[in-house]
Structure 1
């Protein structure tokens, strides 16, 4: 259980607050969608299988006891509808996919957000790349999420973190949501 606490610190230690509900929506409302998932998962408490890898250490658990707001916090951070993000991304879209790419010269943590939609125009796959670099800390987080009929099926967070006084630590978390 101590490892789970560590991975939480590792993944969420340096985050930015979620978007404000009053902020105009220039981009897809990822935060609104993720908050719907959090509400649904918190209500249903499905069995979830989690595999964690930090460096060379692995841990696997099966649980119904998940704080989904904390579990999906990084996906909330990938939402682009923050005041400081307005007009900072290019948009490339097709009928069933949208890709937001950080514009050259911009310095924001979310570098890329990709969303694929099903026939009902609901997200079926989400990918995001978050990179942070400052004097004390560097990190990269690759997020992905698969959904079926608006229901989360699995999610993955992988990447690395490096403190200025330490070594680079690789991590990976995979969650598979049951019924």
Structure 2
């Protein structure tokens, strides 16, 4: 009987320990989740595909004059894909970054994510400026991909309409290099 009593007490102790509340994050900052860029871009894509606004777009590659086009025919999924790569809203990604917040003079909040020393994520740096209402005002990021055959570095910027939070313009500047190929520098600017 004593043997069963010990097993019962051991089981009860395990049940109590397993019901313990998880410990909160070490700091308030560690528990905060980044703005979900992917969700924002999906919503913007749907709106842009419906409205089909006129877009003034400039594309330039090194040594070439920019090609400027004004058109409503834009593949928004392809066009905004590079900005999705800057999404750090998944908690597993945030362990590679330090996060700093600053309230700006106009009441907006600037949130900066800087990669930790020794970490090698694609997003090297991300800065978001959010309105007091929680709408995205600006996005600035540096992305880098590299492996044994390919290297790519891009600086991306996106600004929104202050009243609506909808995309107003964006800018992508980058460089690509294949191991056995030439280096290609390019720049894309668009105004909606």
Alignment TM-score, normalising by the size of structure 1: 0.81
The residue number in structure 2 matching 1:105 is 118
Structure 2: any 5+ residue segments left out of the alignment? 1-31, 104-108
The residue number in structure 2 matching 1:16 is none
* Of 151, 154, 162, the match for 2:177: 162
The residue number in structure 2 matching 1:125 is 138
CA distance in 2, matches of 1:172, 1:82: 29
CA distance in 2, matches of 1:169, 1:56: 10
* Of 59, 73, 78, the match for 2:81: 73
- Give the number of equivalent residue pairs: 153
- Partners of 2:33 and 2:91 within 8 A in 1: no
Q: Does 1:91 align with 2:99?
A: yes
Work out which structure has the larger RCO, using CA pairs closer than 8 Å and 6 or more positions apart in sequence.
1
The residue number in structure 2 matching 1:153 is 168
Alignment TM-score, normalising by the size of structure 2: 0.75
Q: Identify, as 1 or 2, the structure richer in strand.
A: 1
Deviations 1:87-140 (A, max 9, x none): 111110023110011111111110111011223221111101101111111111
1:41-60 → structure 2 map (5 Å cutoff): 41-57=48-64, 58-60=66-68
CA distance in 1, matches of 2:48, 2:142: 24
Structure 1: any 5+ residue segments left out of the alignment? 1-24
Q: Does 1:62 align with 2:70?
A: yes
CA distance in 2, matches of 1:119, 1:107: 32
Question: Which of these two proteins has the greater Rg computed from alpha carbons?
Answer: 2
Q: 1:121 to 1:81 in 2, by over 3 A?
A: closer
CA distance in 1, matches of 2:42, 2:126: 17
Deviation at 1:172, TM superposition (A): 0.1
